[in-house]
Amino acid sequence: MPRAIALETSGRVGSVALVLDGAVVADAQFPHGLKHAAGIIPILDRLCTAQGWLPRDVDEVYVSAGPGSFTGLRVGITVAKSLAFATGAKLVAVPTADVLARNAPPGWQNLVVVLDAKREQIFTAVFSNEDGEPVAREPAHLDLLAAVLERTPRPVHLLGEGIPFHDKFIPKDDPGVIVTGAELWQARAAAVAQLGHALARWGHFSDPDRLAPLYVRRPEAEEKFESKQ
């Protein structure tokens, strides 16, 4: 029974979980203000101590890899790689859009993930419901919400922390466009655990030397610097 750590740091509220054979046995949340990798280690230490886990007991590390908050993703990936190097645990990168799709409410048919990318753009992915499982129809990419909605069948649910920033692009006269409750907008370490465990069983491991966050595009500061050059 593999023991694993799941990390979710892509949004405003982060979370970590301890996972035993795919089931969460302990978890904790922390605020977006935790912007340094070192801040997560005491949380993990507390959870592991309570479960009687030693560093050498961790077999796998699952990490939400993006897209999402640039700072948050860097923190999560740094912690995941550090744990892999320190313990020898195998590393699994889990797409954040897939993690968010696990929050879709019962009965949904189509789902659009909405994460703010600034400049009226969104990081998004489109899913359809196939026998209760989210299947990606459009993988994570940069887009305009209006354009995504124009080509997505109805009914469609919108989910993600970018919704308030793009409210003006959501048609209020279209009953087929359904905005989910804010309680569903945050990615959860429990979903990272579920997906990471499945990916690990399929042998989808990442090289800790090469793993980098899925930003979809470069940070705005880098783009501005290049434009000035």
- 181/161 Cα distance (integer angstroms): 11
Token output for 199 = 């990916």
Distance CA 94, CA 165 (A): 25
155 prior amide bond cis, ω within 30: yes
What is the enclosing helix (H) or strand (E) of 26?
strand 23-31
pLDDT at 38: 80
Residue 86, classed as helix, strand or coil, is helix
Residue 13 vs residues 30, 38, 201, 202: alpha-carbon distances, Å: 6, 17, 28, 29
Q: Is the pLDDT assigned to residue 183 strictly greater than 60?
A: yes
pLDDT at 167 over 70: yes
pLDDT at 220 over 60: no
Question: For residues 114 and 141, is the Cβ–Cβ distance under 8 A?
Answer: no
Is residue 136 within 8 Å of 152, Cβ to Cβ? no
pLDDT of 165 over the 90 cut: yes
Q: Which domains does the chain have, with CATH numbers?
A: 3-96+186-228 (3.30.420.40), 104-184 (3.30.420.40)
Q: Does the structure show a pLDDT above 50 at 225?
A: no
Q: What is the dihedral of CA 134, 31, 65, 43, to 10 degrees?
A: -110
pLDDT at 39: 86
- Residue 199 has φ and ψ, to the nearest 5°, of -60, -40
Q: What's the average model confidence in pLDDT over 150-169?
A: 98
Q: What is the mean pLDDT of the chain?
A: 93
Q: Where in 74-202 does DSSP place strands (E)?
A: 90-94, 110-116, 122-130, 133-143, 156-159, 177-179
Lowest mean pLDDT among 36-45, 81-90, 135-144, 182-191: 36-45
Find the mean pLDDT for residues 135-158. 98
